[in-house]
Structure 1
């Protein structure tokens, strides 16, 4: 297990350092082999059952990573020198402990950073997946050249990634941006949050529940989120009605985010990126009428990295430390 001081590890990183990146949620786990420029050479992905016990899930993720590294070795690629981990929160970044994420409820005080370090004898850097996604867009996507960016993560729960004055902002308890539990109504869809929460109204799973609540004749059971997205983009009026309602609740939360942080851009992760203007237009219209932001409406855009966002985000715990080591 690597026991060197963190500052020495960071000093040894270089533009040629190769990275084993992992991105873990309660629906999927991704392993990538990449570099400091955000390039991904090889990737693998597996389904991740939300109720899987930590040790069982950890072994499955490592088995996938081992297969990925075997493929890389067969191509003559250098072995990775460091591991970068993006994972659902809450997470204690200093200790590298995952603390009961809504999408991985059995991962109670899961010592994932230490176990990875022992398993691979490599230094491990960890980041909340929403913050990692914000960093990915800041360095390689919609935030290039900007100092203040907010990323709205809509899967599996609603949370924010915050890059302020070109630095990721974690807060005192590594919980900055955890807005999904905001109570928006006395009842309503839940998703992986509480009934009537922002996660209920604006996450992929929550919007699917909202579709059934508002249009049970059209959707007697909640559709899969991608099915709702397909219906929206096909012009289905009942699906568009669901997204417009979701946008109204989302605007109520974002107006305070905008008033407090004054970002240059808010970037929307999946499924906001594929909903596109069907979500962003009603959001802009509602926010433009808000007294709370006094006309200071930032740009609202889908993630420029698109389907690559999760892959690139898996590298960002290391990339950000390297780029900010001075």
Structure 2
């Protein structure tokens, strides 16, 4: 078998078109084309560029449309997956009820499939990454925000209207950083934006009592604080930076305990910041997890960093193209 697939990863600032081949060894990334969308709201222009990019990738690799098994689209939600519609995602201004599946299907005459980016990444890690071989798996994004994708009994579970897995909306504390429009939410503590909020709050407390902070020289630098800066300082031994990751890690442990107790998965795969900062987050997270979680459920569940790294978006869109199973609704 040497099946060819096209993946389309639609983001707020860029789109990536990938060509993948499935053979006995798994998925091989054959070619890739990226184009920037900037802050363009010209949806028709971007879709035309997607179509042109797919055609260019096929031409460059001496392939015809008939040699492509399917096209997979990964895109931020909300979506109507069954109808193939993009429904006004906050990072895609102007994409209101866009029938992207129908448009590409008519142009290329091959099956086209759509999934939100969290579900797409879940399929990728399940097919090709850290969740390979498991029947019940959860994927957490832990990037700019916090979302989840669910594999239950060997199938992607999307819920009644594609909203399953929005674990970032769970409130962990009454007060705390804001994420997903909710103070003290799981996303508020366990996301890039959440860690930045924690950092700004803790640093400002230090400034209020006249103390200095090594990784933030003055109040003007507060707005530049992000998870990367704090992680670097924590690894350099800065106690405040380590405290910030300790707080995020404890919240991660609480959130994981809820997921494990409810869903009883075999594996939870966490990408983004967790994969890059496992050493800073996991000690606190695991301590809380062992305290909060049902022992019998925790005993059968592994919590591991994602494996696909920077290529996850490419694998995600291609995994959507490959996914031929019905989705639990």
Give CA deviations for 1:216-238 in whole Å, capped at 9, x if unaligned: 45251143444444444554433
| Partner residue in 1 for 2:33 | 44
Paired position in structure 2 for 1:320: 323
Equivalent residue for 1:34, pick from 20, 28, 31: 20
The range that moved more, 60-69 or 86-95, is 60-69
**Per-residue deviation, 1:263:** 0.9
On the 8 A contact 2:253/2:287 being kept in 1, the answer is no
Is contact 2:169–2:180 with CA below 8 Å preserved after alignment?
no
For normalisation by structure 1, the TM-score amounts to 0.82
The question of 1:211 aligning with 2:199 is answered yes
Deviation of 1:256 (Å): 1.5
Cα displacement (A) at 1:195: 4.4
CA distance in 2, matches of 1:72, 1:143: 31
How many residue pairs match? The answer is 308
SS at match of 1:130: helix
Following superposition, the deviation at residue 159 of structure 1 comes to 0.9
Match of 1:171 in 2: 159
Cα 1:109–1:221 change in 2 (3 A) is same
Q: Does 1:139 align with 2:127?
A: yes
- Name the counterpart of 2:278: 276
Unaligned runs of 5+ in 2: 205-212
Q: CA separation in 1, counterparts of 2:33 and 2:180?
A: 26
SS in 1 for 2:27: coil
CA distance in 1, matches of 2:226, 2:193: 7
Matched with 1:260 is 262
- Aligned residue for 2:68, secondary structure, equals coil
Alpha carbons 2:155, 2:326 under 8 Å: kept: no
* Contiguous gaps of at least 5 residues in structure 1: 1-14
After superposition, give the CA deviation of every residue in 1:238-270 in whole Å (9 maximum; x if it has no partner): 333222212222333222111111111110111
Change over 3 Å in CA distance of 1:204–1:29 after alignment to 2: farther
Deviation at 1:108, TM superposition (A): 2.7
Q: 1:308 aligns with which of 305, 311, 325?
A: 311
Q: Aligned residue for 2:9?
A: 23
Q: Which residue of 1 aligns with 2:209?
A: none
Check whether the contact 1:138–1:146 (CA below 8 A) recurs between aligned residues: yes
Tell me how far apart the structure 1 counterparts of residues 238 and 35 of structure 2 sit (CA, whole Å). Answer: 32
Q: Is the 8 A contact 1:158 1:179 kept in 2?
A: yes
**C-alpha spacing 1:185/1:62, structure 2 compared with 1 (3 Å):** farther
Distance across 1 between alignment mates of 2:94 and 2:76: 13
Distance 1:211 1:89 in 2: 28
CA distance in 2, matches of 1:145, 1:272: 22
> Could you tell me how far apart the structure 2 residues matched to 1:106 and 1:280 are?
39
Match of 1:126 in 2: 114
Q: Distance in 1 between matches of 2:173 and 2:129?
A: 34
Distance 2:240 2:160 in 1: 42
Cα distance in 1 for residues equivalent to 2:12 and 2:152: 28
Q: Which stretch of structure 1 is more off in the superposition, 174-183 or 234-243?
A: 234-243
**Structure 2 equivalent of residue 296 of structure 1:** 297
- Distance in 2 of aligned mates of 1:105 and 1:277: 37
Structure 2 counterparts to residues 88-167 of structure 1, below 5 A: 88-104=76-92, 106-167=94-155
CA distance in 1, matches of 2:56, 2:203: 45
Task: Select the residue among 60, 80, 84 that pairs with 1:71.
Answer: 60
Distance 1:80 1:237, change over 3 A: farther
> Which is higher, the Rg of structure 1 or of structure 2?
2
The CA distance in 2 between the partners of 1:229 and 1:54, in whole Å, is: 37
Query: RMSD of the alignment, in Å?
Result: 2.9
1:182/1:59 CA distance change after superposition, 3 Å? farther
8 Å CA contact retained: 2:4, 2:68:
yes
Are the aligned partners of 1:192 and 1:205 in contact in 2 as well (CA < 8 Å)? no
